[in-house]
Structure 1
Amino acid sequence: MPTSSRRPWVTTLLRGRVVTPTGLIPDGVVAVDGGRIRWVGEALGARAAGLGDLVEEAPVTDGYVLPGLVDLHCHGGGGASFPDARTAAEVQVAVDEHRRHGTTTVVASLVTASPEVLRSRVALLAHVAEAGEIGGIHLEGPFLSTVRCGAQDPGLILAPDPDLTSELLALGRGHLVTMTLAPELPGTQGTDGVAARLVRGGALPSWGHTDAGPEATRAALELSVELLRTGEVGQVSSPEDAEGGGVGPVRSARATATHLFNGMRPWHHREVGPIGELLAAARRGELVLELIGDGVHLDPAVVREVWELVGPRSLVLVTDAMAAAGMPDGSYRLGSQEVVVADGAARLAGAVPGALAGGTAHLLDVVRTTVAGGVDLLDAVTMAATVPAQVLGREDIGALAEGRRADVLVTDAALRPLRVLRAGTDVTAVGSPWGRRA
């Protein structure tokens, strides 16, 4: 072929059923220029876009071309655990496990631990985030309900401490994204409570692990709206943004709820808990709800029902994955807790049946389960990529659109991964970069 028919900026061209923010292109093309998406559209229009015969040469998948997925709640994978990692290389093992399955942005979640351990882990993860390997840090604890602690160690749960919160924000150097809080605990709310400190530091309260009734829950949600209303929405990108007494940039105009239904008082028509208020706030567009749609934590019918109630723009699919993701059944750790995985379900060792201790799925598995449960594919992708990117305050990821980072996931017709690009680099079979750095 004459070289004149080629555009020199095309480094990778992908063709198949392309999922974009506006719909599904049955025969679509994604053209990558280095680390960016240069063009997205119908294959028939590619020649007019200057792609010439490259479209005809490109391999065609009978599956889908999706944006790289974004997981806001992940504790590990590949045998490695973020709450237990002591080195960047250990963190990277878990990141790579999810990355090669299509999750190109992972938020590393910690669990309840002593203040000393939390300080150490946050500092480590901030280092990894600054290297661009993770999308941020989520603190699941230690300011939680001991009644609804789930797999969190009740002996390490603390009363809400605004000063410790500020210390962790400073150690996070602008990379702390969310912190799970039980709204009923004294010290979480108020003008100088933990939630207010988080927002001033560029992070979001994530209401969960709670035994709250509707009154405390509604008050927390109203506080979130008020706190976030006064901040300028935009990614927190420097230590200076995460400090100071005023409200600086906020990642999102909406707080989140940590894994709806799990770790909270059940939705009962006489013993009223938090779930109805959380659903109502999401329907009003004031809150983003996490759903662990892996078929273990939630029945797929529940995920479908919540999707029909509040719509995809107020939902994010998460894994809550721990070290056993991508690994065989066996014994693992999640912070201070011992975990046994059997038939793919992780439970606290010696605990009564039902005491789940994180997930073992990749986010693409969650998408596949969600779609099989009746949720529209485009909406499932919105919930697993676009909305979580918005929570992070990221406009460069989360969708296949011109100018965004070239995070692309190619799947077969059954939504199983075939190829993964991250910033234009093929990471289908990835290894830790930390072993190659001085």
Structure 2
Amino acid sequence: MSVNVGIAGGRISYLGPDTFPSRTGEILQAKGKYLLPGFIDIHHHGVLGFDCSWGSYQRATDAFVHERAAFQQSLARALAHCLSRGITGLLLTTMAAPFEQLLLSLEWIREFRLQYPQWQHLLAGINLEGSFIRDPAYAGAQNPAWFYEPGMQRIQQLQHACGEVLKIVNLPPEHGRLAVELTHELSKQGIVVAAGHSGASYEQGMQAIEAGLKLGVHFLNGPSKSSTKPFGGGGLVEAMLQSDAVSLELIVDGWHIHPAYVRDVLARKGPAGAIAITDSMFAGGLQGLRSFSLGGLKGAVSPGGDYLQLAGTADTLFGSILSPDKGLQNLLNWLTQPMQGVWHRRHPALSLEEALIQASVMLSTNPARLLGWQHRGSLECGKMADLLLLDIGQGSAGYEVKLEAVILAGRQLV
């Protein structure tokens, strides 16, 4: 579909076939290109040497500097990098870390947003992932030394530290009655309650869902409990798959989840039930990095530089180095090919346009809806002009996506 788009006051003011007269004389030629809403990454720890829990990575010492000036300088570089990859809405995501250190990190993020208001639209909030994991067996690449008992006092401290922009809290349902009560209370406050790194049973998962649980953390990773036995109804995985109230995060790098499972999840939940995330780590964009230390754990970059893993393990992954434009490219190639599933015999090939719509829904529309951002996430008059101009062509390995321009709140910044 060919359209012309008008932008005024940072919002989409016209969307249709007619030529829109420019009031400023600024015209961006986009013939033959694709226009999408900006990516919204709700699960992003950092990139380019920045980690929002630990600070600025120093290669020379294989250590992080947790100091205000270095932290905020590294954050600025990371945000510019995110924008260059098409992210127009971002939730910085915490790891398990010493509580006082987390408070400092969030305070520095709050200060940064106040000092540089031009970044507030992009740096839209915080996702608290690692602090309230209960069972070390489901720690993944989170350090159990800094798992804490959840409680409103702790959460309120974190909320105050970040400037009241805490958007998501990971609260594994095996905390029992406490999890149910906190889920209910946080949901009333407009905070999305998620569950991952969890050993919860199906029954515990359903109790949390009834209380307001809305999100599955990097689904099929973490790990979280799954069981095909009837005892307790199964695991948290089964509860989340069966509930239409729960959206599922999917890391679409091709390593965290086999593409066949991605297609299976989409067939079961529908495109509206899945949110594509990066789970990006500080190592993204650091050329030549082969090993690292983070949060008291040792990590390694895969031989091909495609993924991160916990050192000494065969397949325990350590976040990702995925960017959302690469995630879009992966989804286009997976969705436009017929594919044998694991639980489904055969998934049909979609047209490029159908695949592009599904992928955009997962990367932009669904995360905006989850967070209650009514003015973001889709191309509609009156919504924020967070736009991506892309060239999509055929390469030797399938579709290739190239970002041509990034528009944030009506201003072309890339």
CA deviations over 1:102-160 (Å, ceiling 9, x no partner): 11111100101111112112222233445314010001121112111111001111222
CA distance in 1, matches of 2:30, 2:187: 46
Match of 2:379 among 390, 400, 424: 400
Give the counterpart of 2:235 among 273, 290, 305. 273
Residue identity in the other structure for 2:242: A
SS of 1:173's equivalent in the other structure is coil
Deviation at 1:51, TM superposition (A): 6.3
1:427 matched to 2:413? yes
Question: 1:48-97, CA deviations, whole angstroms, 9 ceiling, x for partnerless residues?
Answer: x5569x99x85334331111110000011122222222432222222221
Match of 1:139 in 2: 128
Pairing 1:262–2:246 present: no
Task: Supply the distance in 2 between the matched residues of 1:119 and 1:411 (Cα, whole angstroms).
Answer: 39
Paired residue for 2:297? 337
How has the CA–CA distance of structure 1 residues 113 and 187 changed in structure 2, closer, same or farther, with 3 Å as cutoff? farther
Aligned match of 1:31: 6
Q: Which amino acid aligns with 2:328?
A: V
> Structure 2-normalised TM-score?
0.81
Match among 347, 367, 371 for residue 388 of structure 1: 367
Contact 2:131–2:146 (Cα < 8 Å) also in 1: yes
Unaligned runs of 5+ in 2: 56-67, 337-354, 393-399
On the 8 A contact 1:177/1:392 being kept in 2, the answer is: yes
Check whether the contact 1:126–1:136 (CA below 8 A) recurs between aligned residues. Answer: no
Distance 2:219 2:53 in 1: 22
Aligned-CA RMSD value: 2.3
Structure 1: 5+ residue runs without aligned partners? 1-24, 226-254, 429-438
> How do 1:177-196 and structure 2 match up within 5 A?
177-186=167-176, 188-191=178-181, 194-196=182-184
Q: Give 3-state SS (helix, strand or coil) of 1:189's partner.
A: helix
Cα deviation 1:221-243 (Å, max 9, x = unaligned):
11116xxxxxxxxxxxxxxxxxx
Structure 1 distance, partners of 2:211, 2:380, is 35
**1:88-103 aligned within 5 A:** 88-103=72-87
For residues 108 and 98 of structure 1, what CA distance do their matches in structure 2 show? 11
Counterpart residue number, 2:43: 73
Normalised by the size of structure 1, how large is the TM-score?
A: 0.77
Structure 1 contact 315–383 (Cα < 8 Å) conserved: yes
Counterpart-to-counterpart distance in 2, 1:427 and 1:299 = 34
Distance 1:266 1:190 in 2: 18
Corresponding residue pairs, total: 362
State the 1:293 CA deviation: 1.1
Separation in 1, partners of 2:410, 2:144: 44
Match of 1:149 among 132, 139, 147: 139
Matched residues in 1 for 2:187 and 2:296: separation? 29
Among 389, 392, 404, the alignment partner of 1:410 is: 389
1:357 maps onto 2:287 in alignment: no
8 A contact 1:83–1:334 mirrored in 2: no
Return the letter of the residue paired with 2:301.
V
Query: Relative to 1, partners in 2 of residues 1:158 and 1:51: Cα closer, same or farther, differing over 3 Å?
Result: closer
1:223 to 211, 215, 238: 211
Question: Of 274, 285, 302, which residue of structure 2 is paired with 1:326?
Answer: 285
